[in-house]
Amino acid sequence: MANLQSLFGNAFNPAAVEEVNTDFSPLPKGEYLVQISDSEIAQNKSNTGTNLTLKLVVQDGKYKNRIVFENLCVVHQNATAQGIAQSRLKQICEALKVKALKDTSQLHDKNLVVSVDVEKDKYKSDMTGQDEWRNSIKGYRAAKVQQAAVVEELATETPDDDDQIPW
């Protein structure tokens, strides 16, 4: 038995709690406007390299606030795996206009478009032996939303008087 009054005041009120989306099924294949909300660097399970894990949050549409993860083997004993991961990281940096990435926080909270596919998870099946499916990220590109904001910002800038052409 546990008294909840110290946690919730008078009593826990289930009606006051908003529903949380607990749908963890893969997103349908397509392109999504996302932001990287979190990142973490850690050794991979077999200690053969270092992974950069990115948490991507969908920003709009039917799947707003859904999460997709990207695991990049940015340092790995297998040159091909490392090359693929670093190529993806390059796509992200280019999409976000990051010229020199010193800290992954430079990638956070900025819009970019991710191309998502659905594939069979090689390592999992459900309790009935059925295949499980997962999302796979195929690429990144700049978000038009950011591009439009930059154009708008440039259009609202007023030139210095010295830069005025006299005719």
Question: Domain locations in the chain?
Answer: 27-157
Q: Please give the model's pTM, rounded to 2 decimal places.
A: 0.73
**From first to last of its 167 residues, what are the pLDDT tens digits of the chain?**
788 888 888 888 888 888 876 777 899 999 999 999 999 999 999 999 999 999 999 999 999 999 999 999 999 999 999 999 999 999 999 999 999 999 999 999 999 999 999 999 887 766 667 888 999 999 999 998 544 444 444 444 444 444 444 44
Residue 39: strand pairing partners? 54
Write down how long the chain is.
167
- CATH number attached to the domain at 27-157: 2.40.50
Q: In the chain, how long is the greatest CA-to-CA distance?
A: 85
Nearest CA-CA partner of 56 in 106, 94, 101, 109: 109
**Sheet architecture: strand order including 131-142:** 67-76, 49-58, 30-43, 111-125, 131-142
